[in-house]
Amino acid sequence: MATRSFRIVIGGFVTATLATLAAQPLSAQTPHLVVDLRPGDDSGVPSIEAASFGGKLYFSGDSDGGAADLWSYDGSGPPTVVPGTVGVEPTDLIVFQGALYFQGGPYNPEDRELWRYDGVNPAHEVLDLHPGGSSLPYAFAVYGDRLCFQARDATIGAELRCWDGVSPPASYDIWSGVQSSGVEDLTVIDGLLFFSGYPDAGDGRELGVFDGLNAPVMRSLVPGIVGGDPAGFTLVGGSVYFAAQDPFTPAFRRVWRGLPDFTAPGVEIQGLDVQGGLTRYGSSVVVVGESASSGEAKLHGWDGGALSVLQTSDTAWEARDFVRIGSRLYFLAESETASYDLLRFDGAGVERVLDGELTNYYLTPGLALWNGRLFFSAYQQATGDELWTIEVDPVLFADGFESGDTSAWSLP
């Protein structure tokens, strides 16, 4: 799904160890409206498209009822518009080679291409991958010294492209010809680029692996036109785990494991009907699903032995947007009501940090982490959808921070 291309963005400073963090009491966690960007009940930030870059939070927003611009926020003064971005509707922000990249450009006539902002000069289009049309670049992932993403043209359709920032991008025509593989969920793990995509007319959305050198390899998880639809690629204990359809009962999703070389992926956790996202906590896979023990959608943990239910209260339907901060794992899910709540797993249990119903916020899925705070879009009647923030853990221990590799974060 398109919204899955939102990038979790990590910012912060190495100021303490986990031992220090664990000793600190939690501060009161009250959400604050950052700004009513489009004054009154009109929406200025209907969904969050954001990234941390150069010490600031950059986000897509609109102050006047036109198309969205790119805004920067330094945490103190009001947000300001980035030069060159008025009405360019930035989406899918990512930092690559010391600059901010995003999909931008007009929708009418549509010419959505890859844009770049270096922090100083006005933002501008840097690649026109579909001259006379719109390449709609998205699902960005920084893969070594390359930026990989999906983009379309009139010749090979929507396919995988990888760009070194200098030369013309390489294109990989996975579903050959004008048909589109539509690659999504690009995830870099252990030097490999994992993704989902359509290999050909005989398959659904299946698993792809690219080693950066040879042609991408597709693996059919569920034979035939019903796809495995893999998502949530996560490295745990030397293996890549992900959620995908059950090969025998494709109405259900399961946790799969691929060996390091990914020659023989298979269903790894039996008895769990996966209902949402999947991530890592310490040496365990944590995933939301229904099991015989939980009865309904709750967070489960699996360390290779028994499956355990980590959540005693609430449910966690449609769990998504996992953000690990030190020893805590934040995520959004629908709990008792149909609105999204912010939940937190601390290694022992799950608690609700923000209740979308009681506090009269209506969260739009998507979280951005910047400067020790989570940012999100939420609706209130008086303001419409705007940018909100909530303080989370004030200190982080992030040994993978420089590379943006959250899987390298130290966890208990």
Sole window of 10-18, 167-175, 289-297, 337-345 interacting with Ca ion (rule: CB under 5 A): 167-175
Sole window of 35-43, 51-59, 63-71, 329-337 interacting with Ca ion (rule: CB under 5 A): 35-43
Q: How far is the CB of 365 from Ca ion (least distance, A)?
A: 19
Cβ atoms of 197 and 184 within 8 Å: the answer is yes
300 touches Ca ion (CB under 5 A) = no
Sole window of 47-55, 126-134, 299-307, 354-362 interacting with Ca ion (rule: CB under 5 A): 126-134
Cβ atoms of 193 and 187 within 8 Å: the answer is yes
Complex with Ca ion: residue 151 or 297, whichever CB lies closer:
151
DSSP strands (E only) in 198-248: 206-210, 217-219, 231-236, 239-245
152 touches Ca ion (CB under 5 A) = no
Backbone angles phi, psi at 263, to 5 degrees: -80, -30
Sole window of 170-178, 190-198, 292-300, 367-375 interacting with Ca ion (rule: CB under 5 A): 170-178
Which residue in 7, 38, 146, 161 binds Ca ion (CB under 5 A)?
38
Scanning residues 199 to 218, which ones bind Ca ion (CB under 5 A)? none
Which residue in 35, 148, 156, 378 binds Ca ion (CB under 5 A)?
156
Scanning residues 80 to 119, which ones bind Ca ion (CB under 5 A)? 111
62 touches Ca ion (CB under 5 A) = no
Q: In angstroms, how far is CA 4 from the centroid of its own chain?
A: 6
DSSP 151-208: EEETTTEEEEEEE-SSSPPEEE-SS-SSS----EEEEEETTEEEEEE--STT--SEEE
Q: How many CA atoms lie within 13 A of 325 on its CB side?
A: 28
Backbone angles phi, psi at 22, to 5 degrees: -65, -25
Which residue in 7, 56, 116, 130 binds Ca ion (CB under 5 A)?
130
Q: How far is the CB of 402 from Ca ion (least distance, A)?
A: 34
Which residue in 137, 157, 265, 289 binds Ca ion (CB under 5 A)?
157
Distance CA 246, CA 224 (A): 13
Alpha helices, DSSP H, located in 274-384: none
153 touches Ca ion (CB under 5 A) = no
336 touches Ca ion (CB under 5 A) = no
128 touches Ca ion (CB under 5 A) = yes
Sole window of 13-21, 43-51, 219-227, 391-399 interacting with Ca ion (rule: CB under 5 A): 43-51
- For residue 311, give both structure tokens: 């959540």
DSSP 37-105: SS-TTS-S-SS--EEEETTEEEEEE-SSSSS-EEEEE-SSS--EEPTT-TT---EEEEEETTEEEEEES
Angle at 392 between CA 336 and CA 378, to 5 degrees: 50
Sole window of 9-17, 124-132, 253-261, 272-280 interacting with Ca ion (rule: CB under 5 A): 124-132
Backbone angles phi, psi at 85, to 5 degrees: -115, 10
Counting residues that bind Ca ion (by CB under 5 A) gives: 13
Q: How far is the CB of 171 from Ca ion (least distance, A)?
A: 9
Cβ atoms of 209 and 217 within 8 Å: the answer is yes
Distance CA 257, CA 302 (A): 12
Q: How far is the CB of 3 from Ca ion (least distance, A)?
A: 22
Which residue in 79, 104, 276, 384 binds Ca ion (CB under 5 A)?
384
Complex with Ca ion: residue 134 or 245, whichever CB lies closer:
134
- Interface residue list for Ca ion (CB under 5 A): 36, 38, 44, 111, 128, 130, 156-157, 173, 175, 179, 383-384
